[in-house]
Structure 1
Amino acid sequence: MGAAGPVGQPTRGTTGTNRLRRNDRWIAASEAFRTASDPLVIDLGFGASGVTAFELAQRLRRKRADAEVIGLELDPARVATAQTQLEEVRAGRTPFAADLSVSFARGGFEVPLPGARRPAIIRAMNVLRQYDESDVADAWMRVASRLAPGGLLIEGTCNEIGRVASWVDVPPGGVPVRFTIALRLADLEHPSVVAERLPKALIHRNVPGERVHDLLVALDREWDHAAPLSTFGPVQRWLATVAALKAQGIPVQGSKSRWRLGELTVPWTTVAPAS
């Protein structure tokens, strides 16, 4: 859309209960959120229902009582639907706290906010999937420029029920710093299932000669090697898999407490497109 209206392309609007739970807990644990002077989080492109914004706000308030979530959408009909849902929340007719600090507005990549407010986090999950790969860097730069100092744009994708997800962390400068995959470990056949849910910047790069392909090949290999540990459960198998990658020199970040959640985080340079 042009400068007269919200900037961006409409999304499919697909959403659902608990679809973004893995991403929610990543945001809640992030330094950008925990240390923010104004813990404002934007749910950009929340979709056809406001449920992801409600869930995010409910999870964030467990970490900080002053957390606030604003859901932004291009489509005024989606905003109206979310506001109707919010009325139900305020009336106490939902599982969410009636005083949940959530609101909704129309907006896109320009991230419109009153006054001089800048968010600590902008979450844009499943927003860039219909864009061309060549559009991604400009979108990152534009959205990340709206962040508070020390803030993060978290952009990525997930499957319809939220069991497979990946995202990148992008600071205000617009250049990614981290890449994370997050998987439901129970019944996981191979970690490379995430290939179908990579962020737009990577989804077409899962081919020989690309760094993200090398990472997924190594991840599957070590998952297979750790198969005997399945006797002790998928978490132990995953811990062994991640530890093996780290022992091989792959710069895995985080601690076992994060790995246990089915996460693997590496610097963006580990997976950045070769050209």
Structure 2
Amino acid sequence: DKISRSIKGGEALESAIREVFSGIGVKEHHVKIALQESKLIGKDFENWSDEESKEFCWILRDISKPTLIVANKMDLKTAPENFKRIQEAYPDMIVVPASAEAELILRRASEKGLIEYIPGEERFKIVNQNLLNEKQRWALNFIRKTVLGQFMRTGVQFAINVAVFKLLRMNTVYPVYDYTKLSDKHGHVLPDVLLMPSGSTVRDLAREIHTDLEKGLLYAIDARTGLRLPTEYELKDRDVLSIVSAGRSRT
């Protein structure tokens, strides 16, 4: 068994498993989460039962290949019935009602200055009724009543948020140069945001910003507390951090 041989050769369990499944995109943090959820952390791999191995593989698949169903065209008359059928057919899956056409109409209307709308919001505001022709007015009223009125949102941005933050378990992290002002070298406040997988560390963040930054990495500074964080500190959602590296100032 390749995993057993790798472990006997001194390789960590997480790394050995990742290597076996690397061809299908499994990352080490996926393995760590699967081990936690299957309660196999600390148990000798040689002592795993067949059932434990199967459960681990099921969990690993769900974590590394998460899936949700986006039920599009919810603006059609037959949509509610079809949506109910999908929910009944896939009771263990997340099903998001959506209308991509409604979202596209709202975004285009917003770009033209006809409405005020932020993607994902539950409402929009018409800037000036006199700017709308009859067809545009009908379309916006239809969306407000049929889509937003029944489902609270078009579902497009919500589906993206569910995929990124719930299924992929990503954390938003804000790297800054000046942690006292939350800005970059040019004074721009919170200029960047990075999506980092759950389980990522300060070292992973430094590598994501620039490989040279990782090479001389010393520590990070938590902008909220001013405390120094070790290189293996596990990132949390909405962390605001300043990376300190030898040979380079904060970034």
What range describes the TM-score normalised by the shorter chain of this pair?
under 0.3
Q: Whose helix proportion is higher, 1 or 2? A: 2
TM-score after normalising by structure 2: 0.25
Which has the higher relative contact order, 1 or 2, with Cα contacts under 8 A spaced 6 or more apart?
A: 1
TM-score after normalising by structure 1: 0.24
